[in-house]
Every structure is written in C-alpha cells, then in structure tokens.
A and B are shown apart, each in its own frame.
Chain A
Amino acid sequence: MPYDNHIAITPELVADHGLKPDVFEKILALIGRQPTYTELGIFSAMWNEHCSYKSSKKWLKTLPTSGPRVIQGPGENAGVVDIGDGQAVVFKMESHNHPSFIEPYQGAGTGMGGILRDVFTMGARPVAAMNALRFGAPDHEKTRHLVSGVVAGIGGYGNAFGVPTVGGEVEFDPRYNGNILVNAFAAGLADTDKIFYSKAEGVGLPVVYLGAKTGRDGVGGATMASAEFGDDIDEKRPTVQVGDPFTEKRLLEACLELMATGAVIAIQDMGAAGLTCSAVEMGAKGDLGIELNLDMVPVRETEMTPYEMMLSESQERMLMVLHPEKEAEARAVFQKWELDFATVGKTTDDLRFRVLWHGEEVANLPIKDLGDEAPEYDRPWTEPTRPAPLAANDVPQMDVADALIQLMGSHQIASRRWVYEQYDTLIGGNSLQRPGGDAGVIRVDGHPTKALAFSSDVTPRYCEADPFEGGKQAVAECWRNLTATGAEPLAATDNLNFGNPERPEIMGQLVGAIKGIGEACRVLGFPIVSGNVSLYNETNGQGILPTPTIGGVGLLDDWSQMSRVGFAAPGQVILLVGAPPSRGTHLGQSIYLRDLFGRADGAPPKVDLAHEKRTGDFVRGLIRSGVATAVHDLSDGGLGIGLAEMAIASGIGAEIVDLSDQDPILQYFAEDQGRYLVTVSLDPQGKELAALWDEAQRLGIFAPWIGSTGGTALVLGSARPVPVADLRNAHESWFPAFMQGQQADNAGH
C-alpha cells in the first residue's frame, strides 16, 4: 500500500498520538496548516512528557546544578564532574518503567543499554552501573515474574556489555503492583578535554547514522511512556524495544575509536523517539536546521514508512555530525566493528527540520519549537496533606530480639544477594566494594590511589507522607552512604518517578519533592548534574508511591583509607555518631511500624541538613585520619538493623548497653536521620577517645559510646542475645525462598 503522508488528521488520530486538543491547537498555530501524518508523529514524539519534560521543567529549573567541579549539568546526555588529574566522571540515571512492566527482560535490558549509551556518547568508557528497582507486593501474582525478568534482563545486557554493577536498591510495595520502577544508573570516565556534546556546529556538514539498522520495534515508545496504563496493557508489548548488547559493545568500542580520530563534531544517541529526537536535538542546540534523507537510512525491514522510520526506537544507534574530510577514516572504524555507517543528511542554515523520502518532502517543521522551545506547562498543584505525628506515648511493644530477627528476614531488609549475584560485579578488575555495603566503590583505573563511590537512594514511604521531607531525605541518605565509605560526595543525578501530573495532588508531590531535593542539595553542596522524569506511573487511576531516586557519586583520594560496613575486630568501641541524646526518638513511617504492625502512620523523620552536613564531615574526617575501623549509616530499621548488618558482614557480634531512660523500641528501631555507627580501636578511658569527644562536642555532635564489638551474638541491651549466625540465616533466606515460591516473609504486610 502506498504511503499516504496527507491522510486526514482527525481528532481521534490526534488523541491516539497522546496530544491533547490544546496542544494540537498550538501545533496548528505554530505551522499555520494541518500537519502531515509524519509531522504528527514527530510532534507526538517531541512534545510528549518523556522527551520534553513539559510538566516538570518549571520546577527542575529550581534545582542547584552548578558547582566548582561541575563541567556539564543537566541538558546533555549525562552530567560531567571534574575528579582532578584531567579526568571527569560522566553519569546519569534513567527510568525504563513502562516497558519493563510490559516485557520485563527486554524492557530492563534496553534500559541498561540506553543509560550506557548516554554515558559513552559523551566520550566516557562506562566503569560502573547501579539499578534501583521497585516491585509490587511480594504476594502479588505478577511480582516474581517481574523480579525474575527484570534482574535477568539487566544482567543479560550489562554482563555482556561488560560493566560492573556496584550497587542499587530493590524494594516491594503494593503501590507498585501495576507500575514497577526500573531506574538504571551508569557512570563512565573520560578526559576533561575529550568530552563530546550533542550541539551541532557548521552548515552543510554530513549527518551520519551509525550502529544497528532501523526496524519497526518501539514505534511510539516515548508516547506510551507518557500515558497511564489501563487494562489493555498486553496490547502495548509491540512498543517495547529489543536489545542487542553485542552490538552495543561494538558501538562503544567503535565510538571511542572514532572520537580518538578527531572526526566527531557532535554526537547524540538515538534513545526515546529515535531518529526524530536525536536529529532535532543536535540541530536545535546548535541553532541549525537538519535535512534528513530517509532513503539513506539502513533498515532491517522492507517497506518501512517515513512515519515508522522517524519514530522507531530500535536500539544501539547513534547520530553524528562529522568533519567531512575525516569521513573515510570514520567509515573504516565502523567497518572494522561490522556496524552500519551511512550519511543520511546534512546541517542547514534555515532552522527547519526537513525530512525527505522517495523525492517527497514528508515533513518540514521549525526545529527550535520542536526542540528546546517545546511548550511548558505550569500545572496546577495542591500542597499535600501531611499525616499527624505519632503521639509520644504511641510505641507499640514487641520483644526486641524477635523484632530484630523478623525484620532481618523481611522483604524490606533481607539480603539482595539473589539479585546481585546475577550481575557481574567485578568485571574491569577495579571493584573495591561490591553490592551489599553502604556504597559501591570503583578504583579509578590508572591512578594509584583514587576511587569513586556510588549510591542510589530514596525512601518512597517518607515521600508519600511528606514529599518535601522525603525529597530531602533521599538526597541526605545518598550523601550519607557515600560519606560512610570515606568519600567526598561530588554530585548527583535524579530520577523522578511519579503518577499522573494532571492530578493536582500528584503534581503537588512532584513539586514538594523537587523543593526538598533542591534544599538538601544546596545545603550539602551536592548539585544535580543530570536526571530523568518518569510521570504517568499509574494504573486504572492508582498512582505509585512518589519515588524521586537519587544517584550520587563521591570521590576518595586514597582508597586504602576507605571504610567498610563489617566490624573490623572484636573488642572495639562502637560510637553512635550524630544521635540525639536518647539515641532514637522517631517511629513515624518506620519499617518497625509498617512491617511488624501493619501501620503506615505518623510523619516521616525530619532531616536537619546543617546537622547532617556537620556529622557527615566529622565521620569522613574519622575515616580519612584512620581512626574509624568500620562505618555504617543508619536508615531503614534504625540502630538494631544497622548493628546486625555490621555483625553479619564480619561474623563478629556486639554487646550494646541500654539507656535506662529510653524505651528500647525507640532506641533500636527509631529512624532518626543523620546517624552513623562508627567503630574505633581506641582505649575507652584513653586520651584519644576523649579528644574525639571534645571535637564532636565542639561541633555540636553527640557521639555516645553505646557498646563494644565481640562474641558471636548481637546483644541489644537486656534483650535475648541473637547469634550472628541466626541473623545471617534470616537475612539470606528470604529472597531465595520468595523466588522459589515459598512465602517466607516473617514480617506481616
């Protein structure tokens, strides 16, 4: 059937493209005529939420994005941060939520592929990956299938590509039953003078297509990712792309080889909305027009229409603007790696995006309006209603030892070994800390002492109760996890996952979280340099928990000073640095309440950012001066869980002395923020420890001695001693049993 570029653009067709009537009016006003069918597709791709950030842009602009080390903030494929010695770390986190729910293996795998491409597009060789995964309730019928498929998909892609996974998160909550979250993070290393950008320069230069061929997979994917799910979910499977890590690995090597020749002027990977998005971005950023000739595009299927070619999300493809005199050299590199190389267009000076096919001009649109001048919304939003704080005497009681064992074997706290052993965590030979600790750490290849730390964090139940405090806490916890290794936190990337922003209360969550993130980043000196927004995570009107995932990067000057989670030796002093005088006070929104009593009430813990900064800087000083022998930050589950994790990691027990005037439940399970467990090898009565306390007091930090390491059991005050072996057994058993279909969750939910 011949392709009809001039079919009637009916209201139904417009709606099918995810364009609201008011947006379509804008299109008509902009171009002064009916769009062609190809143009309608191009608009739907460029003006959807996923590509244009139209709901979030106004608020994203309020985030701090600069700092002395920031080379490139948001707006490029990834953020770039100086790590000294002429090197930079290039990183970003991006979601692949909708496709991973529809087809978990390919959805998650291509999420990995996309984020890796974002990093090496900028000239950086990927050196570390993380992924933050959120699934529905463990007993929901789809959960195990999704866990199994997503983990295999990430492993299948990342392992073959060859990047170590060094950290991440896995969480379960019924609010993700209909919309799981797959947030993938990647970081790479590059020389600061060899960073590549997407801004095209120069008129009449060749636009070159590289990598895999274009097929029909993923047509309309970005539009799909900007819509809610209904019951027709299975019909959306054809919009999910299929990944080929072998091609991606060759594309990496070919791109880095090509960049070294000096041929590349601008480069943009083809991600969401493929050829359309990449061509428009390169032209719009460079204030240039782009003319594409689709007859030159390498295709893997016959009879592909311009509409399909422009909207295909086939993976492992790149678009570049090259120096014409180096074209032959560039072609030879790609031929060596057996990848397609085709000149498909040129830059122009008319600021139009023109698409030619079989001698016909199938699209001719103003490029700036498509790209960096896409419409912005100021959506109405409402201030979220915050739950009342718990009454001071509302402390449901339970045996402390029983609570500890049950939480260690709960879906929230249990070891994620089943997941991370399916990821290659040591390829590259630079992994200093693998998943399971506070942060992943990678040695900077070629440097004698430097290393980078990575952590991904957010506590969605806090964000649901109070988006502003939750946003602050996500940043603070990430900063704290990096600090706990001894790293100086440098910068972060944010992956904002929310429901339908057209609902004012959801928009209120987004606004609140961004405000909280911004405040925390400003106080902690931790700018946001890249990010991604995923909205419409709703099914049949039920939104996910607001989940602004923060991926942070820190720098260690000397990894031989790095600290770890496991107790170093028996007989060492345990300090609770940053604690309030009663150790713990805040039970609202805690894991103790949620998973042992089925209660999701109370306000989340507040984050005192100035105190957070002081405490973290103090702990980092203890690590870097060699005083700290082990360090672990406290988060979900509080002090009891933190101690148990340190004991399990080392096989060494500990004995804690109760405070007589504080409820043990609050001491061991409250989730007050800004606290670290630090062990030191110092005489409890000696001068050095006294000096440490003097310094802490001078800074306004409380760092009480709460007990000592040793023995084979964890003894929480007057509670029954719990053998470390029992803690380990509870901690390691839940995930394998769950995946084998045995409901082993000790905690009620």
Chain B
Amino acid sequence: MKAAVIIFPGLNRDRDMVAALTKISGRAPATVWHGERDLPEADLIVIPGGFSYGDYLRCGAIAARSPIMDAVRERAADGVKVLGVCNGFQILTEAGLLPGALMRNTSLKFVCREVKLQVTNADTPFTRLYEQDQVVRCPVAHHDGNYFADPQTIARLEGNGQVAFRYAEGTNPNGSINDIAGILNENKNVLGLMPHPENLIEPAHGGNDGRALFASALDLVA
C-alpha cells in the first residue's frame, strides 16, 4: 500500500503524520506540495493537521482551493481512500468532499487533551480493525472542532453509517453535534476526524490506540 501526504503551507502535524505512516507501514509516504496538479500513485491520500494558511479567512478555506485539491477530488471519486485529520478534516469539508462544517469550540478556547472515542462504525476501510462500539483513547488539539450540519444531513449521516467516531464517556471537547468526532462520505472512502490518532501509536505516546486506524487504511493486519 502506498500513501501520499499533502503539504500546505502552515500545516504542522505533517511531520507527525509522515512519522506515523512510516512506522506503521515500514515505508515513508510520498509528500506532495499544494501547488502540484498531479498526485503520485497512492492507495491512501492523507491531509494532516495544522494551520494551513494560518487559519486565516476560515479554517481550511484557502487550502481547499489549492490546485492539488482537484486531483484529490478526482481520486476520491475513483474510490481511493482519503483521510483528513484536524485541519485536514476542515479542508475536506471546505472542499465539499465531506458535508457540514467545523465551528469554533463552545469553550472558545484551543483544547489539547486526551478524549475517549467510540468506534461508531467498524465496517469501513478505516475502522475495520477496531471492534464495533469499541471505546479507544485519542488526543485532540484544536480550536475549531465543533462539528455542525443541518438536521437532514445529520439524519442522513447517522442513518447511513457515516458517523465513524463519536466522543464517548462525556469527553466531547468542543460541543460538536451528536458528539461527532469523525465522519465518512457516502462511499465510506473519505474520512475526516478532529482527533489525532497519529499521536497515539507507540509506547512513547503512552498507548497505541490510534494504530488500528492506519493499519486498517493501509490494508495491514492488526
């Protein structure tokens, strides 16, 4: 399995993501500069977290209009797996690849802490190595993670198994609707989530609960 990581100016968890993919799969992913128009061959395209374009205008709004995003849209339509984490999730919603929007946390403050996530749908290319409804640990670090969509969209996401992860055990850090932490597109090949599984993959991180997400997406065995 080959992975490609897209780099926008201002992203800062790209190094964490490249390290996680390298450690889990044994090979370094390709990195693609935002100004490119073509993507290398890849089975998994990742947009990591950070502050693309400083979060100026709206989080992810400027990055979503970069040249490379046309190529990402095409690959997504072809069924290639696309993962957006944190700012990557925001970029995917701004690019129209996922519905809804990420608003400012209800606390109005940046929050960095560990939360609990429930695997709401374990029957997806990103979650198949988790158990259905399994509760795992995962860190968050964001200022704008409060997921919102209109009631019809929420009903469709919920009815369609498109909610991949939910904040569990009262740990919702941002006020997101239905405790939503991560959602999928209809075809379940595009996942966006606010938490950072790439920061919980080895003993030095104090746990490896995030590993199964990457192992699933990279078609590895657990």
Chain B residues 42-75 with CB under 8 Å of chain A are 50-51, 53-56
Contacting residues, chain B, for A337 (C-beta < 8 A): 9
Whether B198 pairs with A152 at a CB distance below 8 angstroms is no
- Tell me the minimal C-beta distance from A597 to chain B in angstroms: 36
Q: Tell whether A428 is near chain B: CB-to-CB under 8 Å.
A: yes
Please name the residue on chain B nearest to A156 by beta carbon: B110
* A427 close to B198 (CB less than 8 A): no
Q: Is the CB of A249 within 8 A of B12?
A: yes
A429→B55 contact, CB < 8 A: no
Q: Is A388 an interface residue (CB 8 A)?
A: no
Complexed CA–CA distance, A156 and B19 (Å): 25
**B27 at interface, CB cutoff 8 A:** no
A559 touches B204 (CB 8 A): yes
At the interface, yes or no: A245 with Cβ under 8 Å from chain B?
A: yes
Please state if A429 and B10 are interface contacts (CB–CB under 8 Å): no
Q: Given A244-B54, A338-B9, A422 and B110 touching (CB < 8 A)?
A: yes
A429 in contact with B198 (CB, 8 Å): yes
Contact A246-B51, Cβ < 8 Å, known A443-B204, A559-B204: yes
B residues near A244, Cβ cutoff 8 Å: 54
Those of A142-177 within 8 Å (CB) of chain B: 152, 155-156, 159-162
How does the 8 Å CB contact mask read for A206-250 relative to B, with 1 for contact and 0 for none? 000000000000000000000000000000000000001111011
The answer to whether B112 and A421 touch across the interface, beta carbons within 8 angstroms, is yes
Judge whether B54 and A246 touch: CB under 8 Å.
yes
* Cβ-closest chain A residue relative to B7: A253
Q: Does B211 contact A (CB under 8 A)?
A: no
CB-defined contacts of B112 to chain A, threshold 8 Å: 159, 420-426
- Contact pick for A429, options B9, B20, B53, CB 8 Å: B20
Bound complex: CA of A423 vs CA of B198, how far in Å? 18
CB distance from B196 to the nearest CB of A (A): 8
Say whether B135 faces chain A, with CB atoms less than 8 Å apart.
no
Say yes or no for A430: interface residue by CB 8 A criterion. Answer: yes
Closest CB in chain A relative to B220 CB, distance in Å: 19
Question: Is the C-beta of B30 less than 8 angstroms from some C-beta in chain A?
Answer: no
Contacts of A159 in B (CB 8 A): 51, 110, 112, 141, 143
User: What residue in chain B is nearest A163 (Cβ atoms)?
Assistant: B12
Among A161, A246, A427, A430, which residue has its beta carbon within 8 angstroms of that of B9?
A: A246
For residue A656, CB closer than 8 A to chain B, the reply is no
Q: How large is the interface on B (under 10, 10 to 19, 20 to 34, 35 or more residues)?
A: 20 to 34
Query: With A246-B10, A422-B111 known to touch, is A429 a contact of B16 (CB < 8 Å)?
Result: yes
**Contact between A426 and B110, CB atoms less than 8 A apart:** no
A203 to chain B, nearest CB (A): 36
Report B7 CB to chain A, min CB distance, Å.
10
Q: Is B156 an interface residue (CB 8 A)?
A: no
Among A247, A420, A430, max chain B CB count under 10 A is at A430
Cα–Cα distance between A477 and B189 once the two chains are bound (Å)? 53
- Residues of chain A within 8 A of B205, CB atoms compared: 426, 429
Q: CB < 8 Å: which of A152, A249, A426 contacts B141?
A: A426
**Residue from the set A244, A245, A246 with the largest chain B CB neighbour count within 10 Å:** A246
Task: Give Cα distance in the complex from A196 to B20, angstroms.
Answer: 30
Report Cα–Cα, A337/B19, bound state, in Å.
23
Closest-by-CB residue of B relative to A152 is: B109
Q: Which of A160, A337, A426, A428 has the most CB of B within 10 A?
A: A426
Query: Are B54 and A427 in touch, CB under 8 angstroms?
Result: no
- In the bound assembly, the distance between CA atoms of A428 and B14 in angstroms comes to 9
Taking the nearest CB of chain B, how far is it from the CB of A561, in angstroms?
13
Q: Which chain A residues border B20 with CB–CB below 8 Å? A: 429
Q: Does A14 lie at the interface of the complex (its beta carbon under 8 Å from any beta carbon of B)?
A: no
Question: Shortest Cβ distance from B142 into chain A, in angstroms?
Answer: 9
| Among B10, B111, B113, B196, contact of A249 (Cβ-Cβ < 8 Å) | B10
- Provide the B10-34 mask, 1 if CB < 8 A to any CB of A, else 0: 1011011001100000000000000
- Using an 8 Å CB-CB cutoff, how does the interface string of A371-401 with B read, 1 for contact, 0 for none? 0000000000000000000000000000000
The answer, among B12, B19, B55, B143, for a CB contact under 8 Å with A161, is B12
Q: Are B12 and A160 in contact (CB under 8 A)?
A: yes
A432 within 8 Å of B by Cβ?
yes
Tell me if B204 and A428 are in contact (CB < 8 A).
no
Quick check: B110 and A245 within 8 Å, CB to CB? no
Q: Which residues of A contact B113 (CB under 8 A)?
A: 421
- For A420, the chain B residues whose CB sits under 8 A away are 112
B139 at the A/B interface (Cβ < 8 Å)?
yes
Task: Give the residue among A159, A244, A559 with the most B Cβ atoms within 10 A.
Answer: A159
Q: How far is the CA of A606 from the CA of B143 in the complex (A)?
A: 45
Task: Please encode chain B, from 86 to 124, with 1 for each CB lying within 8 Å of some chain A CB and 0 for all others.
Answer: 000000000000000000000001111100000000000
A579 to chain B, nearest CB (A): 32
Residues in B neighbouring A426, C-beta threshold 8 A: 112, 139, 141, 196, 199, 205
Q: Which residue of B has the minimal Cβ distance to A418?
A: B109
A421 to B173, CA, bound (A): 11
Q: CA separation between A429 and B206, bound complex, in Å?
A: 11
**In whole angstroms, how far apart are the Cα atoms of A443 and B23 in the complex?**
16
Cα–Cα, bound, A600→B179 (Å): 49
User: A427-B13, A430-B204 are known contacts. Are A162 and B50 too (CB-CB below 8 A)?
Assistant: yes
Q: How far is the CA of A337 from the CA of B9 in the complex (A)?
A: 7
A421 contacts which chain B residues (CB < 8 A)?
111-113
Q: A246-B10, A443-B204 are in contact. Are A428 and B16 (CB under 8 A)?
A: yes
- Docked complex Cα distance between A160 and B87 (Å): 11
| A247 (CB) vs chain B CBs: closest residue | B54
Task: Indicate if the CB atoms of A160 and B55 lie closer than 8 Å.
Answer: yes
B54–A245 touching, CB < 8 Å: yes
Chain B 189-222, CB within 8 Å of chain A: the 1/0 string? 0000000101100001100000000000000000
Contact with B along A33-65 (1 / 0, CB 8 A): 000000000000000000000000000000000
Contact check, B9 vs A160: say whether CB atoms are below 8 A apart: no
Residue in chain A with minimal CB distance to B55:
A160
Q: Which residue of A lies closest to B139 (CB)?
A: A426
A427, B16: Cβ atoms closer than 8 Å: yes
Q: Which A residues are CB-close (under 8 A) to B56?
A: 246
**What are the residues of chain B within 8 A of A424 when measuring CB–CB?**
110, 112, 141
Q: Once the chains are docked, how many angstroms separate the CA of A118 from the CA of B119?
A: 44
Q: Tell me the smallest distance from the CB of A254 to a CB of chain B, in Å.
A: 10
Residues of B near A338 (CB, < 8 A) are 9
CB pair B109 A160 closer than 8 Å? no
CB-based nearest A residue for B202 = A429
Determine the chain B residues whose CB is within 8 A of the CB of A422 once the complex forms. 109-112
Bound Cα distance A429, B197 (Å): 11
Beta-carbon contact of A250 and B9 below 8 Å:
yes
Partner of A246, one of B13, B53, B196, B204: B53
State A462–B154 Cα separation when bound (angstroms). 58
Q: Report A-chain residues with C-beta under 8 Å of the C-beta of B55.
A: 160, 246
Closest residue of chain B to A432 (Cβ to Cβ) is: B204
Q: How far is the CA of A16 from the CA of B84 in the complex (A)?
A: 54
Q: How far is the CA of A250 from the CA of B52 in the complex (A)?
A: 11
Tell me which residues across on chain A come within 8 A of B139, comparing CB atoms: 426
Chain A contacts for B50, CB-based, 8 A: 160, 162
Whether the Cβ atoms of B10 and A427 lie closer than 8 Å is no
Q: Which residues of A contact B10 (CB under 8 A)?
A: 160, 246, 249-250
Interface centre among B20, B56, B112, B139 (most CB of A within 10 A): B112
Contact of B13 among A152, A156, A161, A162 (CB under 8 A): A162
Distance A423 CA – B53 CA, assembled complex (angstroms)? 20
Complex CA gap A137/B50 in Å reads 36
Point out the residues of chain A lying under 8 angstroms from B111, CB to CB: 421-422
| Chain B: minimal CB distance from A560 (Å) | 8
Roughly how many angstroms separate A413 CA and B205 CA in the complex, as a whole number? Answer: 27
**Would you give 19 A-B contacts (Cβ < 8 Å), ordered by A?**
A152-B109, A155-B109, A159-B51, A159-B110, A160-B12, A160-B50, A160-B54, A161-B12, A250-B9, A337-B9, A421-B111, A422-B112, A424-B112, A424-B141, A426-B112, A426-B139, A427-B13, A429-B19, A432-B204
Known: A162-B13, A422-B112. 13 other contacts (CB 8 A): A162-B12, A244-B54, A249-B9, A249-B51, A338-B9, A421-B112, A425-B112, A426-B139, A426-B141, A427-B12, A427-B141, A428-B15, A429-B19
Which 8 pairs between the two chains have the least Cβ-Cβ distance? A162-B12, A246-B54, A160-B51, A429-B16, A424-B141, A155-B110, A246-B10, A422-B110
